Structures are given as C-alpha cells and as structure tokens.
Amino acid sequence: MISTINIAESFGRFQQRWTPKIVAELNDSYVKLAKLEGEFVWHKHDDEDELFLVVRGSLLIRLRDGDLHVEEGELVVIPRGVEHLPVADEEVQVLLIEPKTTLNTGNVRSERTIEKLEWI
Amino acid sequence: MISTINIAESFGRFQQRWTPKIVAELNDSYVKLAKLEGEFVWHKHDDEDELFLVVRGSLLIRLRDGDLHVEEGELVVIPRGVEHLPVADEEVQVLLIEPKTTLNTGNVRSERTIEKLEWI
C-alpha cells in the first residue's frame, strides 16, 4: 500500500534531538525527519551527498571555509567529503535525504552516533 | 561553492506547467520543482521510485487501484513499476526527487515528454 506522509504530523510523534526518524524510502535512499537543537559534531560523509530541507526554524551549518544559513523553506546539499557542523540555536526541524548507508555522524563515531535508525 | 536554495523563490522563476526544473543534485538523483495544473498522462517508471512533496496546493495521484490525495505539507513515494496519473485541479507546486535517468513521462512518450531538463 502506498501511503502519504504528513510532515508536520510526523514531527509531532517524536521529541528526541539529533535522532533522525525514517519516514520513507526511495531508490537507495531514506527520507528522514530530525529535530536539531544545540551543536552537533564535525563530520563528513566520504561517499554520500546529504540533503537538508529546513521545515521549521533556522539552521546554521558550519563549514571549514565559512558558514551556511539555511532558513525555513530552504534546502541545501552538502556534497560528499565536505566537513560540516550543524548548529541550531533553537529547535530546528529538518527533512533529510541520504543513502541508506549514511551514518548520522559520518566518519566520526561519538555518543551522538545512532547505529540503528527507527521508522516512524 | 555550496549554495542554499529558497524553494518559494525558485518557484517564482518559472511559470511553465509540467516542466520540472532542476534545483539541486545529490548522489544519483536530481531535486526538481514542478508546477502542475490539469491532468498529466498515465505512466510508470520501471526502475525508479519517485518522491512527490507538495509545497503548495492539493495533488491527486490516480493509481490503477485507487486515488491518493497528497495535500500541502505531505509527501508520497510512488514505487517503481506503479502506474500513476497526477491531476491538479488548480495549480500545485511540487518538489520531486528522482534518479537523474528519470524521464517525466516514464515509459510513455507524448507531447508532455521533456527530453532535456533545465536547471534554475
């Protein structure tokens, strides 16, 4: 069965920060929703480009050569190999699309690493 | 250079219906924006799943075994091989993600087929 996903309703179903939830899959990728608040860890994904679409709030993505500000209703693709540090002064809701193989902390393992993502 | 894409602003840059515009690429896929109005053509994509995220309006996707209503703020993935017919009574703005190889009319060639997509 093919079902539609209401993005706002899905965000209402979890509270954890930095814990992406899978809502859909297509081809070799997952569509994930995540709530971000505070500072993440510097990391990169060696073989995977990563899409951030800001659904609510204002996301700062620090890069080694400058800052990116991604506002509500904006998207950005962080290409493979580019180190980045997401920072959310207040809660930010993002939709992520990335290959199923992507680890949230990329090349780094830390207490923030989520080994097994949940579907919601 | 990595640049952010403002979805609403990008929709303001074109008026054509049924003519997806590429705004970003990641991995083997494009992120596209399309304005839909009226009825498209029945088609399927044999090897590609297709994501529709409705940014504005209300999209009807007819399937052979029923109808899907995709409202603003909702997304749906049409799996490979599933015949579908998008219908928009009024203008609908959608964000699409699909493999770079995807032809808009899938297995069908018609006057609606766009052979070469433009970036905006």
Is B68's Cβ below 8 Å from some Cβ in A?
yes
Check CB contact of A63 with chain B, cutoff 8 Å: yes
Candidates B5, B51, B74; nearest CB to A75: B5
Model pLDDT for residues B79-93, shown as the tens digit of each residue: 999 999 999 999 999
What is the ipTM for the molecules in this complex?
Answer: 0.94
Q: For A19-31, what is each residue's pLDDT tens digit?
A: 999 999 999 999 9
Residue B77, chain A, CB below 8 Å: the answer is: yes
The domain in which residue A92 lies consists of 7-119
Measured CA to CA in angstroms, residue A94 lies from A88, B3, B17, B111 at distances of 11, 17, 28, 37
3-state secondary structure of A64: coil
Q: What's the mean per-residue pLDDT of chain B?
A: 95
pTM here? 0.95
Q: Answer whether A31 sits within 8 Å of B77, measured CB to CB.
A: yes
Q: Please give the single-letter amino acid code of residue A107.
A: N
For chains A and B, what is the number of CB pairs under 8 angstroms? 101
Q: Is B11 helix (H, G, I), strand (E, B) or coil?
A: helix
Q: Per the structure, how many domains does chain B have?
A: 1
Whether residue B102 is predicted with pLDDT greater than 90 in this model: the reply is no
> Is A2 inside any structural domain?
no
pLDDT, tens digit, for every residue of A49-96?
999 999 999 999 999 999 999 999 999 999 999 999 999 999 999 999
**B103 pLDDT above the threshold of 90:** no
Within a domain: B33? yes
Q: What is the CATH number of the domain that holds B60?
A: 2.60.120.10
B26 part of a folded domain: yes
Residue B17 has pLDDT above 90, yes or no: yes
- The DSSP 8-state label assigned to residue B116 in this structure reads S
